[in-house]
Structure formats: C-alpha cells, structure tokens
Amino acid sequence: MAKCSFCEKQLMKGTGMLFVKKDGTAFFFCSSKCQKNSLKLKRSPYAAKWTGTYQKEKQADKKAAQKSGKARKRRTKRTRKKKKKKR
C-alpha cells in the first residue's frame, strides 16, 4: 500500500491520485486537498495541523519536553469575584 505524499495517510489499492513530475519523481495523493496544498500552494506538511507529519512532530516535542522535566504551562482563567449587595 502507498502513503499519501502530503498527509501520510494509507491509500488502499485503486484509490487516490498518482502525480509524476517531468523528472520522474512520483507523488501519491489521497485527495485533491493534499494535492493542492503540496503542488499548487507549496505548503509544508509540517505547517498544516491536520497532517500526520505535523501530529508526529508535535508528539515528539511533547515527549522531549517531558524528558527534560519541563512541565507544560497552561494559562489560568481569571474570574472576577462577585460583589455582595448591602442590605
């Protein structure tokens, strides 16, 4: 089975598109979305959050941060205290 050249999704036989450049390099695409992002818009798969390569990169960063001992910082929501009405 082939993988999509952009999002690394597994392609079943008979599905997807095969694009071959003049120099002979072959690209497999699962959808027109992947094809347009790769060829027409010239985007990197690491920049698109929905791709498998971005997800793998993000997981690797999380594991590296956990090994180094740095905890993820989360912003806390500030809430206002309600003033009590005087009777």
Residue at 70 is within a domain:
no
Confidence of residue 29 (pLDDT cuts 50, 70, 90): very high
Domain tally, the chain: 1
What is the β-pairing status of strands 17-20 and 26-29? Answer: antiparallel
pLDDT digits (tens, 9 = 90+) for 42-72: 999 988 898 888 888 888 888 888 777 766 6
Instruction: Taking residues 32-38, report their average pLDDT.
Output: 94
Range of the domain at 7: 2-59
Please report the pLDDT score of residue 79 as a whole number.
80
> What single string gives the DSSP state of each residue in 14-55?
T-SEEEE-TTS-EEEESSHHHHIIIIIS---TTT-TTSHHHH
- pTM, full prediction: 0.65
CATH label of the domain that carries residue 46: 2.30.170.20
Residue at 10 is within a domain:
yes
pLDDT digits (tens, 9 = 90+) for 72-82: 667 777 788 77
